[in-house]
Amino acid sequence: MRVPVARHHTAFVLLASLALILAACGSSAQSSGPTATTAASEASESEPASAAAEPNELLVLDWSGYEADDFWTDFKAANPDTEVAFEFGDTDANILALMQGGSQADIFHFYTGWQQFYVDEGLVQEIDTSKLANWDKVPDRYQELGQIDGKQYFVPWDWGFTSILYNTEQVDEVTSWDALFNEEYAGHVSMWNDGPGAVAVSSYVNGWDETALTEDQLAQIEADWIAQKSLNAFYWSGEYTDLCPAVQDGTVWVAYAWQGCYATALAAGDPVAYANPEEGRNSWVGLYGISSDTDSYELALEFLDLKLAELSCGNAVTLFYYGCANGDVMAAIEDPVLIEAFGINDPSILESTNFTPLVTEEQREAWTGMWERVQAE
Amino acid sequence: MTPQAARLGRRGSLGVGRTRVPLGPFYGAMLALLYLPIAILFVFSFNAGTALSFPIEGLTLDWYGEVLANGAMLDAARNSLVVGVGSATLATALGSMVAVAVLRFRFRGRSLLLALAGLPLIVPFVVMGVAFFLLFVAVDVPRSLFTVGIGHSIIAVPYATLIVLARLSGLDPALEDAAMDLGATYPSTLRRVVLPLMGQTLLSAWLTCFIVSFDEIALAIFLVGGDPTFPVFLYGQLRFAQRLPVLIAMAVLLMVGTVALTLIAMRLRQARWAERSPYRL
Amino acid sequence: MLGRRGTLKFLAGPPLVWLALFFLLPLFLIAAFSFRAGSGAIGPSDPWAPSVEQYQEVLGTPAFMRLLGVSVLVAVGVAGFATLLAYPVAYFLTFRAGSHASLYLTLLLVPFAVSYLLRVMAWKLMLGPEGGINSLLGSLGLTEEPIGLLLYSRPAVIITLVYVWIPFAALPIYAAMQRIDRNHLEAAADLGAGPWARFWRVTVPLSLPGALATFFMVFIPTVGEYVTPSLVGGTDGIMYGNIIQGFFTRSANWPMGSAMAMIMLGLTLTLVVVALRVVDLRRVAA
């Protein structure tokens, strides 16, 4: 496309041409896309193609931050020539949407509650655990979370708690989830921006079974959270960008939080505590699945196996303050802040913890729709 | 100096009386407000501590050193630069073409073309992101810096069109008519009469489009492939509490670089322009 | 060599093709999504039958419609203030800055090359209850309690948006002011008009198109704004765009999100067309 150009804009044209050339060179040198779907459909059976025929590249659909080398450093060391590219999603719903929408990712990462959708939609294939050298380091409880109908579809990797993080100077000891609804803390509460999360909290507070809520109960939950809005300073989406700074500077006194912020604040010496509510904490586990469409099955297995290795998994602990599915790594933790954050010395915590249950399609639609209405009120 | 110019000089500028409305201070206050967060970030880029809160825990140059050693970060910055330059140039070109076509020609789809050029403004980036995702998945085009560039060129076109339009609408068509009466073809007229007069406007438009692209994340996060742009990279790294100062240092460096580049470009343009015309506009 | 007609094809053609391919086509896909039943993130290849149930749902939820109305009002407010505050800046650049205008303009735009996320984090440092501004006011004895509304409120969203828009808003006004022939002002002066008269009767009318362009340039994207509300808006500052984003990202409900987006597009377009008619009528009357 020729554009009329005056002499003293030659600089710009040259610059632009250079930019385009650079972009072309950059993109072709590091190919960022997966191979065509025709090859992929042949490999969609669980029998993997021979390793020699697999392309030496992987596309991983993950959350922002997880693309960092630290979290797959063992794989990188073992396969320096493999191109690993990342696509990003920022919520479980988003990841599901992208996979359903046709993402070519070989591997994807999401959190407990959403497993059934991937299996029902045929988006995931079984994991051959005999090929995972680190599989026996994963405790049974976590292995089971990655199973549907007895088949191992997912590999657990990171995990953590959800509870109430609170400022000990402003707030008395928190013993229940209803602290989030306590009017004494008006303007200083922060809830996570997530419908299913809100439903879970309400279920705990009211003693209801979150997998079997009636319409009336759901309507009550909606009304409760609409009323709660006046207590809420803001809804947080980014743990380290939204919540942590606000907790640390004293804006937020009571928050629905993962232990990451707790550990960060504790390490900084802030006056915070992480509640053990009478209803029990919540726990979530991050799961990795291999796409049923992939033509890099063996490579993907190796990627996940090496992610479970000590260093790659351990980095989730040291860098994000999240738990890791490798039992050896957890047993070796010595940092007192982390021991406190994970409640390692208190086994009763895990016993009373509620793990996120599977969600059905109707529930997902109802709960997320309800949450958007709450937001809009 | 022409008589008009001389009178201009004597009377001061032909606007509201100099001493009555504090326009200069207003601009200065505006500038100060804009640079306040930059100043804060600048200060924290030397902070020995890693949290973005006072008090400062001592000064250090370590973070800048780490920036230079961080290959991934420098790559991301380079990617942003490349995408920014490419998409800004494309958007400015397209926007200018639309402006000229709409202002200097009469044709049936005139208002439609103008509306189309402005329409990307209406669509929220998250919607554009999903839309592009659907498009590229449907035609099986892998995501890459190219797709980001395409996306950015689209969202920047309205700004370029608007700015060029605003300036061009004040340009007397008689100038172009005169050139053509003297035998020049229209393309030649555009190149030798219109473009020189539009130089500064084109620069503003280009700079705006560049900046729109450079810091854009909502679209980029959908369209980026193996090579992240800097905002996408930054967003991911923000999860690591300890890495904040290095990110801040990089952001400051990028800003300084942008300023330097723009100043150089302006210098180049002014130097060549001064050679050609005794008039200043 | 190209004649006039040929030049037109060459000028209008490429933008048309590019925009049709990479804007209209994706937009069409979104529109198609909005007419699907169901709430999942359905794959594009899944079979579907046209349905208006998404539109019924959106239009039938009072909370969403109210929020849309509020967002339009916020956008009008932001556009109005931004245009008003950008006007003196543009004036300064045109009539006061002289040969340094380009430099001053560049200085205004350059901060935007720094990540918005980082700048807002720095801003929050200043605006928070323990932040710089409140500490300053407190130590000067002007306030007893930290001012809450500077952050996590609707006013905070408006203030932040206006603040972010002013440099960009100045551009069309500046471009329009630049083309004001100094001879007009000369003539007015010769006829005895004082500085204010010259301003109101020459400068303002001639720069009005630029101001109008600015107003719309700011208004249109602000209706669907969601980034700033999510960063500084808190619970009260949520806007329509946040709900759209919510349906796309939090809820995996692309059909619903698409329907909401199309409704907003339709409304904004209608408002703009109506406004342009009104403006044109006024100019004709004047």
* B85 touches B125 (CB < 8 A): no
So what's the pLDDT on residue A21? 44
With b meaning 16 or more CB within 10 Å and e meaning fewer, what string describes C207-218? bbbbbbbbbbbb
pLDDT tens digits, B136-169: 888 888 788 899 999 999 999 999 998 888 888 7
Helix (H, G, I), strand (E, B) or coil at B47: strand
Written as six digits, the tokens of C195 are 């500085």
Provide the token pair at A332: 């070796």
Decide if B206 contacts A9 (C-beta within 8 A): no
- pLDDT, one tens digit per residue, over B203-251 is 889 988 998 898 888 888 888 877 889 988 888 888 777 788 888 888 8
CA C118 to chain centre: 21
Alpha-carbon dihedral sign for residues A22, A28, A30, A34: positive
* B215, C115 Cβ separation under 8 angstroms: yes
Task: Label residue A195 left, alpha or beta by phi (over 0 means left) and psi (-120 to 50 means alpha).
Answer: alpha
Q: How far apart are CA A314 and CA A293, in angstroms?
A: 30
User: Are residues B162 and B209 in contact, defined by beta-carbon separation less than 8 angstroms?
Assistant: no
Which residue in chain A is spatially nearest to C128 when comparing CA positions?
Answer: A251
Query: Can you tell me the distance from the alpha carbon of A95 to that of A109, in angstroms, rounded to the nearest whole number?
Result: 8
Task: Indicate the range of A200-204, B132-136, C279-283 predicted with least confidence.
Answer: C279-283
Range A50-159+284-339 has CATH code 3.30.2270.10: no
Confidence band (pLDDT; 50, 70, 90) for B64?
Answer: confident
> Is the bond preceding residue A4 a cis peptide, omega within 30 degrees?
no
Q: Say if CB A151 and CB A197 are below 8 A apart.
A: no
- Per-residue model confidence (pLDDT) at position B6: 47
Phi and psi torsions of B228, nearest 5° = -75, 150
CATH class entry, domain B61-276? mainly alpha
Q: Is A171 in contact with A253 (CB distance < 8 Å)?
A: yes
Kindly give the confidence (pLDDT) of every residue in chain C, 286 residues in length, as a single tens digit, with 9 standing for 90 and above: 456 777 888 888 899 999 999 999 999 988 988 888 776 655 555 667 788 888 988 999 999 999 999 999 999 999 999 999 999 999 898 888 888 887 888 888 888 888 888 888 887 777 766 666 777 777 777 766 666 667 888 988 998 899 888 888 988 888 888 878 788 888 888 888 888 888 888 888 888 888 888 898 899 889 988 888 988 888 999 999 999 989 988 888 888 999 999 999 999 889 888 888 877 755 554 4
Would you state the pLDDT for residue C4? 72
Task: Give A324's strand partners.
Answer: A158
pLDDT of residue A260 exceeding 80:
yes
Residue type, A60: V
Pairwise CA distance, residues B123 & C245, whole Å: 12
> What is the DSSP pairing of strand A57-63 with strand A83-89?
parallel
Given CB atoms, is A88 within the 8 Å cutoff of chain B?
yes
Under 8 Å CB-to-CB from C286, ≥6 apart: which residues?
none
Name the strand (E) or helix (H) holding B179.
helix B173-181
* Domain residue ranges in chain B: 61-276
Of B27, B98, B127, the CB nearest to C89: B27
- Kindly report the CA angle at C228 between C227 and C233, in degrees rounded to 5? 120
Backbone dihedral angles phi then psi of residue B160, each to the nearest 5 degrees:
-65, -45
Contact B52 C121 (CB under 8 A): yes
Q: What is the pTM of this model?
A: 0.83
* DSSP states of C107-176: HHHGGGGS-HHHHHHHHHHHHSTTSHHHHHHHHTTS-SS--GGGSSSHHHHHHHHHHHHHHHHHHHHHHH
For residue A91, give the nearest of A163, A195, A5, A186 by alpha carbon. A195
Rounded Cα–Cα distance for residues C48 and C45 (Å): 9
What's the pLDDT at B239? 77
Q: In angstroms, how far is the first alpha carbon of chain C from the final one?
A: 43
Q: Please determine, for residue B7, whether its predicted confidence score (pLDDT) is greater than 50.
A: no
Distances (CA, A) of A194 to A190, A235, A256, C252: 12, 9, 11, 12
**Quick one: pLDDT band at residue A38, thresholds 50, 70, 90?**
very low
User: What is the pLDDT, as a whole number, of residue C167?
Assistant: 86
DSSP code for A70: G
Instruction: Report phi then psi at B192, rounded to 5.
Output: -105, -15
| Distance in Å, alpha carbon of B27 to nearest chain C alpha carbon | 6
Of C179, C220, C245, the CB nearest to B122: C220
Q: Count residue pairs from A and B with Cβ separation < 8 A.
A: 146
Q: Hey, are the CB atoms on C121 and A369 less than 8 Å from each other?
A: no
Q: Give how many domains chain C has, as a whole number.
A: 1
pLDDT, mean over chain B: 81
- Please give the pLDDT value at position A41: 34
Q: Which of B183, B214, B218, B200 is CA-nearest to residue B76?
A: B214
At residue B1, does pLDDT exceed 70?
A: no
- Token digits for B154? 């689209």
* Beta strands at A354-355 and A282-291: parallel, antiparallel or unpaired: parallel
In whole angstroms, what separates CA B100 from the centre of its chain?
20
User: By the 8 A CB rule, do A225 and C143 touch?
Assistant: no
Per-residue pLDDT band at A342 (split at 50, 70, 90): confident
The Cα angle at residue B269 between residues B266 and B275, in degrees rounded to 5:
135
Q: Report residue B91 as tokens.
A: 């958007």
Q: Please enumerate in sequence order all residues whose Cβ is within 8 A of that of A73, keeping only pairs 6 or more positions apart, or say none.
A: A311, A312, A315
B228·A67 Cβ contact <8 A: yes
Beta strands in chain A (DSSP E): 57-63, 83-89, 107-111, 124-125, 147-148, 151-152, 154-167, 189-192, 232-236, 254-258, 272-274, 282-291, 323-324, 354-355
- Angstrom CA distances, B223 to A197, B86, B211, stand at 29, 16, 18
Check if the beta carbon of residue C235 is closer than 8 Å to that of residue A229.
Answer: yes
- C-alpha span between A201 and A198 (Å, rounded): 5
pLDDT band at A44 (very low <50, low <70, confident <90, very high): very low
Instruction: Give the minimum alpha-carbon distance from A64 to chain B in angstroms, rounded to a whole number.
Output: 4
Contact A94 C248 (CB under 8 A): yes
- What does the block give as tokens for A152? 């191992």
User: Can you give the C-alpha Rg of chain C in angstroms?
Assistant: 23
Question: Which of C58, A61, A267, C171 has its CA nearest to residue B51?
Answer: A267
For domain A160-282+353-376, the question of CATH label 3.40.190.10 is answered with yes
> In chain A, where does the domain assigned CATH 3.40.190.10 lie?
50-159+284-339, 160-282+353-376
Distance between CA atoms of C63 and C55, rounded to whole angstroms?
Answer: 14
Query: Using alpha carbons only, how large is chain A's radius of gyration in Å?
Result: 23
Helices (H) and strands (E) in chain B, counts: 13, 0
What is the spatial distance between Cα A242 and Cα A246, in angstroms, rounded to a whole number?
Answer: 7
C181 assigned to some structural domain: yes
3-state secondary structure of B273: helix
Rounded Cα–Cα distance for residues C5 and B105 (Å)? 9
Cα distance between residue C55 and residue B178, in whole Å: 56
All residues of chain B having their beta carbon less than 8 Å from the beta carbon of residue A86 are: 226, 228
Give contacts of B134 with chain A, Cβ < 8 Å: 101-102
CA distance C54 to C242: 18
How many angstroms separate the CA of residue B101 from the nearest CA in chain C? Answer: 6
In terms of pLDDT, which residue wins out, C191 or A371? A371
| Mean pLDDT, range A115-140, rounded to an integer | 92
> Minimum mean pLDDT among B16-20, B131-135, C73-77: which range?
B16-20
**Residues β-bridged to residue A189:** A232, A254
Grouping H, G, I as helix, E, B as strand and the rest as coil, residue A163 is: strand
Give the C-alpha separation, C45 to B134, whole Å.
Answer: 11
For chain A, list the contacting chains (3+ Cβ pairs, <8 Å).
B, C
Task: Report the C-alpha gap between C164 and B102 in whole angstroms.
Answer: 30
Look up residue A166 and give its DSSP letter.
E
More confident residue, B28 or B12: B28
Q: Could you list the residue range(s) of the whole structural domain that residue C126 is in?
A: 69-246
Beta carbons of B122 and C221 less than 8 Å apart: yes
Can you tell me the distance from the alpha carbon of C262 to that of C246, in angstroms, rounded to the nearest whole number? 15
User: Is the ipTM beyond the 0.90 threshold?
Assistant: no
B267 pLDDT above the threshold of 90: no
In the prediction, which pLDDT does A52 show? 52
Q: B212 CB contacts (<8 Å, ≥6 apart)? A: B88, B152, B155, B156, B159
Q: If you measure CA to CA, which chain C residue comes closest to B236?
A: C117
Chains that touch C (3 or more CB pairs under 8 A): A, B
Tell me the shortest Cα–Cα distance from C24 to chain A, in angstroms.
20
Out of A17-31, A293-307, B46-60, least confident range: A17-31
Is A269 at the interface with chain B, CB within 8 A?
A: no
List the single best residue of C84, C114, C162 to mutate versus B (max B Cβ within 10 A): C114
The Cα–Cα gap between C70 and C229 comes to: 13
Q: For position B157, what pLDDT does the model report?
A: 96
The chain-wide mean pLDDT, for chain A, equals 83
Instruction: Report the alpha-carbon angle A48-A50-A51, nearest 5.
Output: 100
Report CB contact under 8 Å: A102, B146. Answer: no
Q: Which of C169, C267, C161, C265 is nearest to C217 (CA)?
A: C169
Burial B124-137 (b: 16+ CB within 10 A, else e): bbbbbbbbbbbbbb
